[in-house]
Amino acid sequence: MKNVLMTLAFVVASCLTGLADTTPQAPPAPLAELWVHTSAEYRGLAYQAYNTASMQFDRWAPLLQKRADGKAYLPGSQKPLAIVLDLDETVIDNSGFQAFMYRTGATYHPQIWAAWMEFQAINKNAAPAVPGSVEFLAKAEAMGVTPIYISNREAGNEANTIKVLANNGINTEGIEKRILLRQSGEAADEQVARALTGANISAGSAEARRVAEGEGEKESRRLLVLQDYDVLAYFGDVYGDFEPFLEMAGSTQRKFEQRRASADAHRQNFGRTWFILPNPMYGYWSVGSTIPKDGIKDALNDYGFEVFVRGRRVLNR
């Protein structure tokens, strides 16, 4: 009888275990979104980026000439000085959109994003400024430096975007000429052509391809800005806000390794003329863009620790 009861208990336990295994699992905690949306650490890094830029501008201040037009110039230059900034996750905090995606289980769609931009324009709480950005922009403008915004928000969303900036106390005077959103089709092709001509880059060259196709497709707009301004610094949250990275075909390095090597090659720019804001929520670095969906485990290197632990029979699975 005792053996029967023990067998019955084992069977019941096995059934319960099987049932537990089929219970729908809660989705993993959205650590990146929580970090941006709630953490002191995120805010600290954002402040650090803009504080570092502010200190750099203090060093440059004695070299700048503020002329009668109220704009700052480098000695001997006829071009006014500017800074180039991305918008989303650089000046405008969109972690609320990421919160919506998690809470509803929705996936990204251009119509949902368009609705979010419209919602931000009428709900100030949905579009806070990235910490430190408003104060830094005010300082730069007081010095006579012009902020130029290059964003991959689609062209046609200027009005809602400008409203968000104004709601945060950011100067929007003459901003229609200072905000360059993403063009498409013939307008984008014409933009690239003007940029290549102005920079004396031959169409069909490797450099022309970087301008047209480089990560983020912002290089043509950066080159157009350089036709009218001397740019002191760039601000963004993804590598393409600074460098038109292109994957090298035939390289022995994987794409993420090539991006890392490119960043290493430009190490002297970070914190001097390139100021990067933290954004672990999305970007060209992520799964599907740089990391293949079936290559996540391959991209994560434990440096042989699994073998080390298994050899000591510490790991049970």
Look-up of token digits 């073998």: 307
Closest C-alpha among 121, 128, 136, 125 to residue 53: 136
The pLDDT tens digits of the residues spanning 195-245 come to 999 999 999 999 999 999 999 999 999 999 999 999 999 999 999 999 999
Structural domain contains residue 147: yes
CATH number assigned to the domain comprising residue 293: 3.40.50.1000
Q: Residue 251 pLDDT > 60, yes or no?
A: yes
How many domains is the chain built from?
1
The set of residues, in sequence order, having a beta carbon less than 8 Å from that of 269 and lying 6+ positions away, is 242
Structural domain contains residue 209: yes
Structural domain contains residue 23: no
Structural domain contains residue 177: yes
Beta strands 274-276; 81-85: pairing state? unpaired
Q: Residue 17 pLDDT > 80, yes or no?
A: no
Look up the pTM and report it: 0.90
Structural domain contains residue 6: no
The pLDDT tens digits of the residues spanning 277-295 come to 999 999 999 999 999 999 9
Structural domain contains residue 16: no
∠269-270-271 over CA atoms, to 5°? 110
Confidence class for position 19, pLDDT limits 50, 70, 90? very low
pLDDT of res. 195: 97
Q: Which two tokens stand for residue 249?
A: 């075909």
Q: Which two tokens stand for residue 187?
A: 């307008």
Structural domain contains residue 188: yes
Q: Which two tokens stand for residue 20?
A: 């537990």
Residue ranges making up the domain that contains 155: 29-311
pLDDT of res. 23: 58
Confidence class for position 12, pLDDT limits 50, 70, 90? very low
Q: Residue 4 pLDDT > 70, yes or no?
A: no
E strand or H helix at 228? helix 219-228
Average pLDDT over residues 161-172: 98
β-pair partners for 65 = 73
Structural domain contains residue 154: yes
